[in-house]
Amino acid sequence: MHVEIAGTGRALPAAMVPSAAFDRRLGLPEGRVEALTGVATRAVCGTESQIDLAVAAARAALDDAGLAPRDISLVIGASAVPYQPIPATAPLVMARLGIADGEAAAFDVNSTCLSFLTGLETAARMLKDQPALVFSSELASRALPWDTAPEIAGLFGDGAAAAVLRPSAGSTARIAASLMRSYPSAYGACGIGAGGTRFDFAAEPKAFRAHALFAMDGKELFRLASRHFGTFVADLLARAGWTHGQVDLVIPHQASPAALAHMIRQTGFPPDRVVQIAATCGNQIAASIPFALDLARREGRVRPGMRVLFLGTSAGVSFGGLALEV
């Protein structure tokens, strides 16, 4: 698919919360949450909404691309957790950007932590003459099990990021390959059970409440990744026609500092070629990959002609990746 990323942007809420603040709130020894998670600080929304973050990131991406909202014909929301179950989040972001009724299509895709990659590939397949906007915006600090599992709750942070995609006529930029594989045998290892149709709030209020917080079996996810992720990456590289040494930069999902370290050991990519922001931003769910992408672009780590590999895992459980020649 001959497309290019024309612009990226990111947004954070104003408040940056160090792990020490959670130690004090929970009555834990100082340094305990950071020791459990590897995360030193993360952004947490106060008055900002998920839509505020999405619009700010989208405007930054449009400015980076030198485009106005009216230039966009497709808006794809790619967040793991929506603003509300119905309708989709993307039409509201489209409206807040000032794109007039009927001037663009807007819808959501959801593959949890891999949603941005799914949105990017969907946009690439739908592109015609006008650019598309893909955004991921997450309030990951909500619905966390602080009382029972601070080692899980302390991993997450809020944030948003977006990218503008357009046809790459006249350049060599392209998506060289994409791949996703799912392992639903571990479906229950990670998720929030309430909020959909599984539990009826009126008929089953206790069950609804019991499943309203995020839960994760880290050991099961680790075992699954250890068995299959290395082969998955090798197969993605083979699809792209790339060798391991030809990858210039790896932009992974920022699940946790420990997960990043394990991924580096498992895949053998040099640490200096892997974008790592989990320790300072936390796990921003679907926003983590585009957030890391924007940071890398603005630091000059992504340059024309480079081969960039996006990698991640998601609840469900799925492995996903995309090989991009920029």
Known catalytic residues? 113, 253, 283
For residue 311, the cross-strand partners are 252, 321
Q: Are 229 and 250 in contact (CB under 8 A)?
A: no
177: three-class secondary structure by DSSP: strand
DSSP state of 184: G
The three-class DSSP label of residue 65 is: helix
Helical H segments across the chain, by residue range = 19-26, 32-37, 50-65, 90-97, 115-126, 150-153, 205-210, 218-240, 257-267, 278-281, 288-298
Say whether the peptide bond before residue 317 is cis (omega within 30 degrees of 0).
Answer: yes
- The two beta strands, 159-167 and 105-108, are unpaired
CA angle 273, 163, 7 (to 5 degrees): 85
Distance (Å, whole) CA 181 – CA 176: 17
59-248-276 Cα angle (round to 5): 60
**Residue 83 neighbours by CB under 8 Å, 6+ apart:** 49, 50, 51, 89, 92
Q: Which among 105, 318, 115 has a CA at the least distance from the CA of 225? A: 318
Work out the burial of residue 143: count CB atoms within 10 Å of its CB; fewer than 13 is exposed, 13-18 middle, 19 or more buried: middle
